[in-house]
Chain A
Amino acid sequence: MVAFIVRRVIAAVLMLVIVSVATFAIFFLIPRALGQTPEGMASRYVGRDATPEAIQGAVKRLHLDDPLIVQYGRFAKGIVAGQDYSLGPRKAECPAPCFGFSFNNNQPVWPTLLDRLPATMSLALGAAVVWLVAGVSIGVISALKRGTAVDRAAMTVALAGVSLPIYFTGLVSLSVFAYTLGIFPGGGSYTGLTEDPVMWFQALVLPWVTLAFLYAALYARLTRAGMLETMGEDYIRTARAKGLKERTVVTKHALRATLTPILTIFGLDLGLLLGGAVLTESTFSIPGIGKLVIDAIRGNDLPVVLGVTLFAAFFIVLANLIVDILYAVVDPRVRLS
């Protein structure tokens, strides 16, 4: 088991390196490959109508004319050990982990990320509880009542659920429940949990339900398919032949086998959302990481976009690692491969 964990951790670290290279490549290799000059890139950091001298200065200060490999080295070193940026006369410190430095508001990106994390976590974790419970129970019921009206109705709703864009369901729910009926507060009313727990809860109900609706639909479909496959296995027949109650067969034998792959997907989905639920956050104006990246791209604040991308990728790799290890605990066969 220890050997397995060590192997997975090494793989995860390698993955982080690859992800950081890929992220770096997006911001520095792609523009260059598409014919962008260092000056052109610098002008995106200092503003479009800067003087040629200012742009030249920015190229020098940001070392944009260095070979890419040197630039990557500096970027990677910044994450591990921190980095200083010289902004004309004064220096700006970006302590480790340096996820970049926003020149729009003269701040390192990392503290901003941490600042935005609670909102995203509130949204993602709350929604995850709803969709996991709702999705799995609907999927199981559908599979057990296969072919009945209940099954067909549930699967039609689920198919509709995966076909609806989240910002559309979000807007409709805002329009009905916030604007017309006035039951819940409208967009942009997110409040921190520590500030006002009641308001926090009220403001998050609609985003939770909206986000959970999509994932519940997805999980209901997955659970149903998995459950149907498991129920056809020989060991289920054996369990029934032993005279076990149907309830025990379903919960102890079938559900457990169905849930393991679903939990893997769950870990990855949650990891993905923690890196920013971009669409839900921008629909409901929740000041999380996803909203941060959208505001940054509109304000042409590329270092923030880079920082968020990296941050989100780290979350996914971490989620992957945790899921792998948990999986090995649950299913000993995994450890051997």
Chain B
Amino acid sequence: MTAPLDVSGQAMEAQPEAVLEGAGGKAIEGRSLGQIAWMRLKRDKAAFVGAFVVVFLTLIAIFAERPFGGLIALFGDPPNLPNNDLIDPMTSAPLGTWGGMSLEHPFGLEPVNGRDLFARILSGAQISLLVAFLATLVSVVLGSLLGVLAGFFGGWVDTLISRLMDVFLAFPLLLFAIAIVGAVPDKALGLSGNGLRVAVIVFIIGFFNWPYIARIVRGQTLSLREREFVDAARSLGAGNRYIIFREVFPNLVAPILVYATLLIPSNILFEAALSFLGVGVAEPQASWGGMLTRAVDYYQIAPHFMIVPGLAIFVTVMAFNLLGDGLRDALDPRAR
């Protein structure tokens, strides 16, 4: 793209980057990839909304229960406190309109036992984001490492890792996850109960998703390996380790960041799906998917019990997707 000669307002709207390069006859400033990406991202309103919601939800999850009972204590009931007096004994639906929504219980109450949904949504946010972030971290570490090795060394290393990726991608992930959760004993690795469940789920999601990151990283590494700056480093006597970590890897940070951001929402959905199926986080710990399982039995008398956790999942996943799409468009000009 060449800088247009016409520096009218209209062109400014259409191609601000190009215009800025030549605007006002000033010296052309070099801009890093990061600066260009930031400029593009600032213009992407949807991505900005996504980023805002993501930061907001992450803060909520971090401060949900700590310090001193956190946001939950600030706003009312703890997540497991029953409110039997607020439940209609005939229908077991909460008393009052909209499932008992009020200032004290902004999201209403759970049918049957009357637990406060606001507290349970916040508590579920913690689990959801914790699992999603940790699992993404596992995938990113495994995927980047194996992807770089495959792309950089080629030959049998590449063949082996690529075949391994094919094998992993051919597994029915959800069924494997169900099977593994079923096969893991009640106590292992010094953990039990939900601690063990969370560890197992993080491991499964992280361990089976690394090929998505590795595939991208491998492809990028293949082309980076042939670039002049790598030759230059090599001719100056740099070893493989230096080239991989100092020359190649910094160029991989952008794509890894994009695909990690896009992996988080799919991990949130996956964790929720496992909890929905009853093989994820177990009661009494609140989880969004687990709440929807119980909602199956009550959607006729208490539709809010289905809508509240459903919307929580939707808003969170959508926000991460918007941010991820925005980051991809900003960092990868080809993908626009």
Contacts and interface: CB of A to CB of B under 8 A. Distances in A.
A196 B172 CA distance: 32
A12 to B, nearest CB: 10
A316 B174 CA distance: 13
A123 interface: no
Contact of A172 (B174, B187, B306): B306
Interface string B172-186: 101110111111110
A35 B306 contact: no
Given A168-B306, A171-B299, A309-B172, A159 B178 contact: no
Contacts of B174: 278-279
A283 interface: yes
A278 B310 contact: no
Contact of B318 (A160, A187, A283): A160
A256 B22 CA distance: 41
B295 A312 contact: no
A275 B174 CA distance: 11
Contacts of B321: 159, 162-163
Contact of B325 (A19, A27, A159, A317): A159
A297 B325 contact: no
A175 B314 contact: no
Contacts of B132: none
Mostly, the A contact residues are helix
A317 B170 contact: yes
Interface string A279-295: 10011000000000110
A272 B276 contact: no
Contacts of B278: 294, 297-298
Contacts of B185: 31, 34-36, 40
Interface string B263-277: 001000100110011
Nearest to B187: A35
Contacts of B277: 278-279, 282, 294, 297
A150 interface: no
Interface in B280-317: 289, 292, 295-296, 299-300, 303, 306-307, 310, 313-314, 317
Given A163-B321, A165-B272, A313-B171, A27 B183 contact: yes
Interface stretch (A102-110, A125-133, A197-205, A300-308): A300-308
Contact of A171 (B189, B295, B314): B295
Contacts of B175: 275-276, 278, 293, 308-309, 312-313
B322 A159 contact: yes
A278 B60 CA distance: 32
A162 B324 CA distance: 13
Contacts of B269: 165
B127 interface: no
A305 B170 contact: no
A174 interface: yes
B183 A31 contact: yes
Contact of B313 (A168, A175, A302, A305): A168
Contact of A15 (B167, B189, B289, B314): B167
Contacts of B289: 165
Interface in B141-173: 166-167, 170-172
B202 interface: no
B255 to A, nearest CB: 16
A174 B299 contact: yes
Contacts of B313: 164-165, 168
Contacts of A23: 179
A179 B295 CA distance: 14
B305 to A, nearest CB: 10
Interface in B55-99: none
A163 B318 contact: yes
Interface of B: 166-167, 170-172, 174-176, 178-185, 187-189, 265, 269, 272-273, 276-279, 289, 292, 295-296, 299-300, 303, 306-307, 310, 313-314, 317-318, 321-322, 325, 335
- Give 7 nearest A-B pairs by CB, closest first: A34-B188, A168-B310, A163-B318, A312-B172, A163-B317, A36-B185, A175-B299
25 contacts: A19-B167, A22-B176, A26-B176, A26-B179, A30-B184, A34-B189, A40-B185, A159-B318, A163-B317, A164-B314, A164-B317, A167-B292, A171-B295, A171-B310, A175-B299, A179-B299, A278-B175, A278-B277, A294-B278, A306-B179, A309-B172, A309-B175, A309-B179, A313-B170, A320-B170
Interface of A: 15, 18-19, 22-23, 26-27, 30-31, 34-36, 40, 159-160, 162-165, 167-168, 171-172, 174-175, 179, 187, 225, 272, 275-276, 278-279, 282-283, 293-294, 297-298, 300, 302, 305-306, 308-309, 312-313, 316-317, 320
